Structure 1
Amino acid sequence: MESKPVTTATVIAPRVPSGFEYTFPSIRGIQAGREFYVSMCPLRLIPKIFIFDEEELPAELRAQRVLNKGRLPALTKYILDNPHDYVFSALTASVDGKMIFEGHSAEGSGFRTGNLRIPMDARFLINDGQHRRAAIELALKENPNLGDETIAVVFFHDSGLERSQQMFADLNRHAVRPARSIGVLYDHRDLSSQVVRTMVGRSPIFKGCVEMEKSNLSPRSRMMFTLSALYYGTQALLKGLELKSVDVAAELAQAYWEAIDQHMPEWALVRERKLAAMEVRRDFIHSHGIALHALGRIGNSLLRESTARARWKKQLVPLKRVDWSRSNSDWEGRAIVGGRVSKSHQNVTLTVNYLRHHLGLGLSPEEQRVEDAYLRGDA
């Protein structure tokens, strides 16, 4: 066999003569009777060798979705803001070109490990991970030092457009985004998540009443709230407030929700085992996400206007006169649409407006616009 010049996977030229190769230390595996290879690529190499389908092609002639550039700033920021603890899963790519795997031995573990040789003029097509690839490219422009770090890549033989399209469909067929509640529970980077976890752990009104993993409660659940609903409510409550630490923010949030609890007698009855949580959720809306979000927005405006706790607590007193029952026809079109509680942005705003009216608070221009549309019947 004619010898070929071989370069490492960290070197690339804009135009590569035929005969030059990449060499990737790899592990060989088999899925559905087809060989595939798992390797590590330096980040600086990722934007240079992995390409996308031409975006101007119609969908039926592409093997992946069009890049959503709106996702890139957040992904890029994630890498740049967390250079010591970001995590990216493997890219999956098809190689349109000859791949030669040279195992370390003819049998045993050495048969599975070795070097994967791919001609530099081969075409690399990402089947899964195009947004990660694009974010890596942008991050490298801001911080070139990331270039020496690596990401796992799974290489498959390119078996044509139909096979690549099927790979994309299969890779995304069973992808399920985790419930927001468990995301809040496990996210130690997001300050709002830290605050709500601290608050829930400390406050007696939430003890044994918060579903920490699921974002939707089953009809017979013994929990009153979901962690995600409290997250969004607390995030709205503290939005724009300058607080020194997570502990200070959690203390303020705890004080606010415990003040709200004083005007929600059903909440106390659930804690005292005198009323079932499922009955409260069925007959009232004040433990639902839309109510907590609306109450958070109300609290935010009160906290901005008054740093004196006694004052904003007194301003909440009229809440005891609010009829939170689902049978209250005032909720139809505001918090309830077609007999079901709605969490849309517009419905949250209409619920806020209703509570502001009961508390004697004015509406912002945007809230007034939504209210006027609702009263005209446009909502």
Structure 2
Amino acid sequence: MFMNFSYSFPAIRGLQAGREFYTIMCPLRLIPKIFLFDEEEIPAEHRAQRLMNKSRVPDITNYILENPRDYIFSSLTASVDGELIFQPQSKEFKDLGYLNISLDSKFLINDGQHRRAAIEEALKISPELGDETISVVFFHDLGLVRSQQMFSDLNRHAVNTTSSIGILYDHRDQLSLITKSLINEIPLLERYTDREKVSLSKNSPKLFALNHIFNTICRLLGKRKGELISEPEKKFVSEFWALLCVSIPEWQDVLDKQTSPRDLRAGSVVAHGVFLEAIGIVGHYLYRYHSDEWDSYVKKLSKVDWSRDNKADWLGRAYGQTGRINKTNETIQLTANHIKVKLGLPLTEAEQKIENKIKEGTPINV
């Protein structure tokens, strides 16, 4: 029997595992009205999805609002607990038509709850977005067990992209653009930067990972992803890296084929992310307090013993007692502190407190 009161959506009918499903185009203004979440107080075993991480919503909301002409969302996936009637357009196009869903149906998002929440927040600020659409894949709700299984299946094979891939494919963020431009400008970086991985295996033919370069630039400028970069800052980044690359003899040995990235990783701290980000901290200090002579300090790096055999300098900083490099915010800062000492630069009050902990014998997690 046809429903007197219903939602009606243009739809395409499909078949998976012997069950029909439907893909529709839904106006954004309807998304907050028809899609609901499980209540947070319901125990996990009785929910069909995980609790929403509300801290993610503002970032997605800003993404929509800041890119109104070129934002893009993948489909939402939802279960419908209610009557569904599909009306084919014609006999020739039996899987193309209209999907009618009774108004008293309950809708449950199986995949896309953060996008749904972000859309709701974006509509509050820009109601004109309400006429735009997002694709939604509807399945008929067969109960809690089926909904939980759908959530598990949808996320079972999901693989997050690496941060390096995210940087490589980001054509909006200025820090990402600067990072990619820098790599193309400098022969050493262009040849020896892995643009996909976030960490390198001991046998990798590359010397750097793209995200290491990006993180170092963030520390160099004291900036975060999404922040604006001035022209003087861009110029400093380019000049700093150009000088840095010729001021580390070990890097030049790799470029000249006198040593391999593998051997350098095994024997020196300069082939690791902890060193790069520590250099970023030092460079930021030089930019702020020695803007007219920062280059003279960078050149001094060529005189430092960066070998891992130099335990007096790097043990307990760049690596621990096992000899394993461990990149954490603390080890990065400890390494940066000692580089500053090597260059004759004073430590800040916060940096000195960290050094005092070492002198007092307070355990350091490296």
Aligned to 2:21: 36
Matched, 1:316 2:298: yes
Aligned to 1:259: 243
Partner Cα separation in structure 1 for residue 198 and residue 192 of structure 2: 13
RMSD value, Cα: 1.8
Aligned to 1:59: 44
Partner Cα separation in structure 2 for residue 127 and residue 372 of structure 1: 52
Letter paired with 2:50: R
- Give the % identical residues: 48
1:224 to 207, 210, 219: 207
SS, match of residue 292 in structure 1: helix
Partner Cα separation in structure 2 for residue 177 and residue 201 of structure 1: 26
How far the C-alpha of 1:87 sits from its partner, in A, is 1.0
SS, match of residue 205 in structure 1: helix
Aligned to 1:50: 35
SS, match of residue 38 in structure 1: strand
Letter paired with 2:249: P
SS, match of residue 189 in structure 2: coil
How far the C-alpha of 1:131 sits from its partner, in A, is 0.5
Aligned to 2:113: 130
Matched, 1:360 2:344: yes
Aligned to 2:279: 295
TM-score by length of 2: 0.93
Matched, 1:115 2:98: yes
Q: Residue 175 of structure 2 contacts residue 229 of structure 2 at CA under 8 Å; is this kept in 1?
A: no
Aligned to 2:86: 101
Q: Residue 335 of structure 1 contacts residue 350 of structure 1 at CA under 8 Å; is this kept in 2?
A: yes
Partner Cα separation in structure 2 for residue 306 and residue 135 of structure 1: 43
Q: Which moved more, 1:321-330 or 1:266-275?
A: 321-330
How far the C-alpha of 1:251 sits from its partner, in A, is 3.6
Q: Residue 199 of structure 1 contacts residue 250 of structure 1 at CA under 8 Å; is this kept in 2?
A: no
Q: Residue 205 of structure 1 contacts residue 258 of structure 1 at CA under 8 Å; is this kept in 2?
A: no
Deviations 1:235-280 (A, max 9, x none): 21122598534xx544422211222223311111111111111111
Q: Residue 198 of structure 1 contacts residue 250 of structure 1 at CA under 8 Å; is this kept in 2?
A: no
5+ unaligned residues in a row in structure 2: which ranges? Answer: none
2:71 to 57, 65, 86: 86
Letter paired with 2:341: H
Q: Residue 174 of structure 2 contacts residue 228 of structure 2 at CA under 8 Å; is this kept in 1?
A: no
How far the C-alpha of 1:112 sits from its partner, in A, is 1.2
Map 1:1-379; keep pairs closer than 5 Å. 1=1, 4-5=3-4, 20-106=5-91, 108=92, 110-239=93-222, 244-245=230-231, 249-308=233-292, 311-329=293-311, 330-337=313-320, 338-375=322-359, 376-379=361-364
Q: Residue 334 of structure 1 contacts residue 350 of structure 1 at CA under 8 Å; is this kept in 2?
A: yes
SS, match of residue 190 in structure 2: coil
SS, match of residue 255 in structure 1: helix
Deviations 1:5-59 (A, max 9, x none): 4xxxxxxxxxxxxxx1000111111111111111111111000000000111111
TM-score by length of 1: 0.90
Partner Cα separation in structure 2 for residue 29 and residue 365 of structure 1: 64
Q: Residue 193 of structure 2 contacts residue 209 of structure 2 at CA under 8 Å; is this kept in 1?
A: yes
Letter paired with 1:43: L
Partner Cα separation in structure 1 for residue 55 and residue 190 of structure 2: 39
Letter paired with 1:327: D
Moved over 6 A (4+): none
5+ unaligned residues in a row in structure 1: which ranges? Answer: 6-19
Give the number of equivalent residue pairs. Answer: 358
How far the C-alpha of 1:315 sits from its partner, in A, is 1.9
Letter paired with 1:141: K
Q: Residue 199 of structure 1 contacts residue 251 of structure 1 at CA under 8 Å; is this kept in 2?
A: no
